[in-house]
Amino acid sequence: MPKSTRVGEASDRWGDFETVALPHLESLFRLALWLERDRTTAEDLVQETFAQALQSFHRFEPGTNCRAWLVSILQHLRSNRRRTLARQPQLSDVGDLEEQLAETLAYEPPTPEGISEEEVLQALKKLPASFQEAIVLADVEQFSYKEIAEILGIPLGTVMSRLHRARKLLRTELAGYANARGIGLAATRAVSS
């Protein structure tokens, strides 16, 4: 193949990549930072994610969700990294934990109103890592349940049950903040009005 053609292709590929993929850099970094809790690790992960994405950009189908594709790569790198560092896999204890939570959270707390950004983040931080991951992917990144299942490599049913419990636990935490500050609960206000 003539060199100029290869250069042209590379230039086109970079142009498309810059338009389609790079705009997601900031949200991908925030996701990585939230999940890893370490800025250097998050930067490394994002850097490697985009390098791998550019290398295999020809496999990306235009029109599909590029952010989901990037997050899949990020998640894959995170899994590899965890395995490599021989850390205790964070998801291994989720089964037991979820069962415990399911038992202790039979009561469904009403959702408080007037919660601040800081309080939401503080409440989220108190959740188990796998629950945070599910909530961030669903409610912040707004991926569909099916996309989350593909990103995390778990069955759709597991995504749904994990999210259900994670959100319930988050509401419980938020209700604690609301009680402490005397913020009204949505249901209570609706009844009184």
Interacting residue ranges for other proteins, rule: CB under 8 A: 7, 10, 13-14, 17-18, 22, 25-26, 29-30, 33-34, 38-41, 43-44, 46-48, 50-51, 53-55, 81, 84-85, 108, 110-113, 115-118, 120-121, 124, 135-136, 138-140, 142, 144-145, 160, 163-164, 167, 170-171, 174, 185-187, 189-191, 193
Q: Is the dihedral of CA 99, 133, 71, 148 positive or negative?
A: positive
Specify the 3-state DSSP secondary structure of 185: strand
Q: Which two tokens stand for residue 192?
A: 């009184």
What is the closest distance, in whole angstroms, from the C-beta atom of residue 60 to other proteins in the complex? 14
Between 65 and 93, CB nearer to other proteins: 65
Query: Contact 87/141 with Cβ under 8 angstroms?
Result: no
Within 13 Å, how many C-alpha atoms sit on residue 150's CB side? 12
CA angle 77, 152, 137 (to 5 degrees): 100
Q: Between 44 and 154, name the residue whose CB sits nearer to other proteins.
A: 44
Beta carbon nearer to other proteins, 38 or 99 = 38
